[in-house]
């Protein structure tokens, strides 16, 4: 393997050799490959603009930055962009690439023209599908030549709680080995199971603290997830546990309370305008503990809105100075993740990742450089996308084991009963207890009640091959149209298959159609499969251009628009009428969730469990 190819996976021996070479190039004692001269350059360390600057590049790295004409060496190629302003390649401090539903090499083709040159991958999703192969997966595209730097953080939630199983198990030994294997591994992905952090009796307590310990030992960063944590004792306990960040603050007050207790705050677009405006009103002078982050964004939304550049534009529109907004997606996240030797600024030793702006105030991107070469012109991605033949461990992950039947989704009634009480949930149900409804019985089976917006929801084990199905009744989250069902293999964070439907036969048909596609979406309407979307890699991503995936998703939405979907207007504000895409997040089991439906297990044979306490309950009684 050449020195250049070693450079993309950051092994320590080659890193030393690269820096020894850069030292000589900076002194002019060795020639450089490219000198990029720009009209202006933002020094994010001092938040100042420098005029007529030259960036001298050797291989994939920067060797020298200074006033044009001051470098004493020889260079093979010179490029002059006098009308463009240079800022560092933009970084994502917390992003699930899986939520773009593109494999990493196609994610690169989508986000690099939009300025995103490096990403801290929050690998709860792939890690939960194949934990042992986490690093193999996230480093594959880079090793094949992709210019996008992916710094993996293996998932802390593998499994998400002690009441879930399948897809692997990560603990102290696994996290230690991940961190030792590559300098690209930045730390531990968001610690979400707060009850397992503070409660020694929780079944995940030892495993989770083992991963935290391994991360501390290797000087990595332990990322946090503090959803629903707003009282001062718990915020203080969260910070005291060593969980270094939070991206779940929804209000200015919550954001401020967590920021002032030492948490690195990662601000998502959902509430970015309000929080940025509020922080400015409060007179926040030091923004170094703040980053702008995407978390989850589909390829379709990125095509429409943008990538990290969208977050920057939102912040600028909310009143933040462009220079500070750029710091919040470059040097701030790089410092927090301890990645400043490689990314976060236009400075010697860093990767030559440079975003060239035609308009700073509007954050209009003209060109992007990555790894020392121009990779985009406008929105056009210039390099060839590396062809990766993903192996079976990444592609064959839907292991239901058999074709499902309507009977698999039936809920049996007790003998002789005309009605049964049912434990009922609804999307984003954070209450202390489940809802209870009396439901009719027909032919020995408990029935849905569409007049009260009650339908059926199921989780199918896709890991063991046993074809195990948990099912229960849900409020206001499914189709009213007869013989209709929607199934998906993206179900945060365990990513078993979920299905919602108006008939048991339609649910079976939808799950079987999804399995034939190796994952993704399947919509059955009035007994017929009318739309499929293929997520053939890990049941989460597809190996193709964003535009092709977008087209398939639009067909799914169009067919879904012909369905009469139930809706409860009192739901969480993120829950909207129409196509229930956000059901993929309604399977979360982290705080502040309590009662949830998981795949059947010895602990919870019917799948209904309180993840705060471990209590189980029958779905009908």
Residue 2 clears pLDDT 60, i.e. is over it: no
The b-or-e profile of 404-425 (16+ CB within 10 A means b, else e) is beeebbbbebeeeeeebebbbb
Percent of the chain with pLDDT over 90: 94
Cβ–Cβ under 8 Å, residues 330 and 93: no
Structure tokens given for 270: 């959902």
For 327-354, what is the mean pLDDT?
98
- At residue 208, the pLDDT reads 98
State the pLDDT confidence band at 569, using cuts at 50, 70 and 90: confident
State the pLDDT confidence band at 3, using cuts at 50, 70 and 90: very low
- Between the alpha carbon of residue 268 and those of residues 87, 148, 243, 273, 312, the distances in Å are 21, 21, 18, 10, 11
How far is it, in rounded angstroms, from Cα 305 to Cα 356?
19
How far is it, in rounded angstroms, from Cα 602 to Cα 43?
57
pLDDT in tens, 134-153: 999 999 999 999 999 999 99
- At residue 189, the pLDDT reads 97
Task: Tell how strand 373-377 and strand 364-370 pair up.
Answer: antiparallel
Residue 426 clears pLDDT 50, i.e. is over it: yes
- At residue 4, the pLDDT reads 47
- At residue 591, the pLDDT reads 81
| HEC assignment per residue over 14-76 | HHHHHHHHHHHHHCCCCCEEEEEEEEEEEECCCCEEEEEEEEEEECCEEEEEEECCCCCCCEE
Residue with tokens 């009977």: 407
Closest Cα to residue 493, out of 108, 168, 202? 168
For 31-48, what is the mean pLDDT?
98
How far is it, in rounded angstroms, from Cα 247 to Cα 292?
9
Structure tokens given for 472: 């229960």
CB-based burial label for 15 (10 Å; 0-12, 13-18, 19+): middle
Give the side-chain half-sphere CA count within 13 A for 120: 37
pLDDT in tens, 490-544: 999 999 999 999 999 999 999 999 999 999 999 999 999 999 999 999 999 999 9
Report residue 95: phi and psi, to 5°. -150, 140
How far is it, in rounded angstroms, from Cα 524 to Cα 215?
45
State the pLDDT confidence band at 422, using cuts at 50, 70 and 90: very high
**Average pLDDT of the chain to the nearest whole number:** 96
Going across the sheet that includes 90-95, the strands are 90-95, 116-123, 149-154
The b-or-e profile of 294-308 (16+ CB within 10 A means b, else e) is bbbbbbbbbbebbbb
pTM across the whole model: 0.95
- Between the alpha carbon of residue 76 and those of residues 35, 36, 54, 111, the distances in Å are 8, 11, 14, 29
Cβ–Cβ under 8 Å, residues 355 and 330: no
State the pLDDT confidence band at 5, using cuts at 50, 70 and 90: very low
Question: Quick check: bond before 159 cis, omega within 30?
Answer: yes
Closest Cα to residue 156, out of 224, 68, 231, 220? 224
Q: State the sign of the Cα–Cα–Cα–Cα dihedral 580, 582, 584, 585.
A: negative
- At residue 6, the pLDDT reads 53
Question: Quick check: bond before 493 cis, omega within 30?
Answer: yes
Percent of the chain with pLDDT over 70: 98
Closest Cα to residue 449, out of 478, 484, 488? 478
């Amino acid at each position: 393997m050449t020195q250049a190819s070693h450079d993309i996976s950051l092994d320590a021996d080659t890193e030393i050799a690269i820096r020894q070479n850069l030292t000589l190039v900076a002194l002019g004692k060795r020639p450089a490959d490219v000198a990029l001269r720009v009209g202006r350059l933002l020094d994010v360390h001092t938040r100042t603009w420098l005029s007529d600057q030259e960036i001298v590049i050797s291989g994939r790295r920067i060797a020298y930055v200074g006033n044009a004409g001051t470098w004493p060496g020889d260079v093979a190629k010179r490029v002059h962009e006098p009308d463009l302003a240079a800022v560092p390649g933009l970084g994502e401090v917390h992003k699930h690439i899986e939520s773009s539903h593109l494999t990493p090499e196609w994610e690169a083709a989508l986000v690099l023209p939009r300025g995103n040159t490096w990403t801290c991958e929050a690998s709860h999703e792939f890690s939960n599908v194949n934990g042992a192969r986490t690093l193999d997966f996230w480093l594959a595209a880079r090793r094949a030549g992709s210019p996008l730097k992916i710094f993996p953080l293996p998932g802390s939630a593998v499994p998400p709680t002690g009441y879930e199983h399948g897809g692997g198990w990560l603990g102290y030994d696994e996290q230690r080995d991940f961190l030792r294997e590559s300098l690209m591994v930045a730390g531990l992905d968001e610690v979400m199971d707060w009850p397992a952090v503070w409660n020694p009796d929780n079944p995940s307590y030892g495993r989770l603290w083992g991963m935290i310990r391994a991360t501390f030992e290797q000087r990595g960063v332990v990322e946090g997830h503090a959803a629903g944590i707003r009282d001062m004792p718990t915020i203080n306990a969260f910070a005291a546990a060593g969980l270094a960040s939070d991206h779940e603050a929804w209000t200015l007050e919550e954001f401020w309370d967590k920021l002032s207790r030492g948490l690195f705050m990662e601000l998502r677009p959902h509430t970015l305008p309000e929080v940025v405006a509020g922080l400015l009103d409060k007179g926040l002078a030091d923004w170094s503990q703040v980053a702008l982050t995407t978390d989850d964004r589909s390829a379709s939304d990125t095509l429409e809105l943008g990538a990290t550049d969208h977050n920057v534009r939102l912040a600028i529109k909310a009143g933040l100075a462009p220079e500070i907004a750029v710091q919040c997606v470059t040097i701030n996240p790089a410092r927090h993740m301890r990645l400043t030797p490689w990314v976060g600024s236009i400075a010697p030793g860093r990767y030559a990742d440079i975003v060239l702006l035609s308009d700073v105030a509007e954050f209009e991107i003209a060109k992007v450089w990555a790894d020392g070469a121009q990779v985009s012109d406008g929105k056009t991605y210039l390099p060839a996308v590396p062809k990766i033949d993903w192996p079976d461990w990444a592609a064959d992950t839907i292991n239901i084991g058999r074709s499902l039947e309507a009977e698999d989704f039936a809920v049996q009634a007790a003998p002789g009963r005309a009605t049964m009480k049912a434990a009922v949930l609804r999307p984003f149900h954070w209450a202390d207890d489940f809802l209870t409804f009396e439901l009719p019985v027909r032919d020995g089976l408990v029935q849905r009640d569409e007049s009260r917006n009650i339908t059926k929801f199921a989780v199918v084990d896709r890991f063991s091959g046993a074809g195990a199905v948990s099912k229960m009744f849900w409020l206001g989250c499914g189709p009213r149209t007869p013989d209709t069902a929607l199934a998906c293999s993206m179900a945060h964070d365990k990513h078993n298959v979920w299905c919602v439907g108006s008939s048991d036969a339609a649910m079976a048909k939808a799950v079987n159609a999804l399995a034939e596609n190796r994952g993704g979406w399947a919509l059955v309407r009035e007994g017929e499969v009318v739309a499929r979307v293929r997520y053939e890699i890990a049941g989460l991503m597809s190996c193709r251009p964003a535009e092709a995936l977008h087209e398939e998703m639009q067909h799914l939405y169009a067919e879904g628009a012909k369905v009469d979907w139930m809706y409860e207007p009192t739901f969480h504000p993120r829950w909207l009428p129409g196509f229930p895409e956000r059901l993929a997040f309604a399977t979360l089991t982290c705080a502040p969730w309590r009662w949830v439906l998981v795949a059947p297990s010895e602990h919870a044979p019917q799948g209904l469990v309180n993840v705060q306490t471990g209590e189980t309950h029958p779905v009908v009684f």
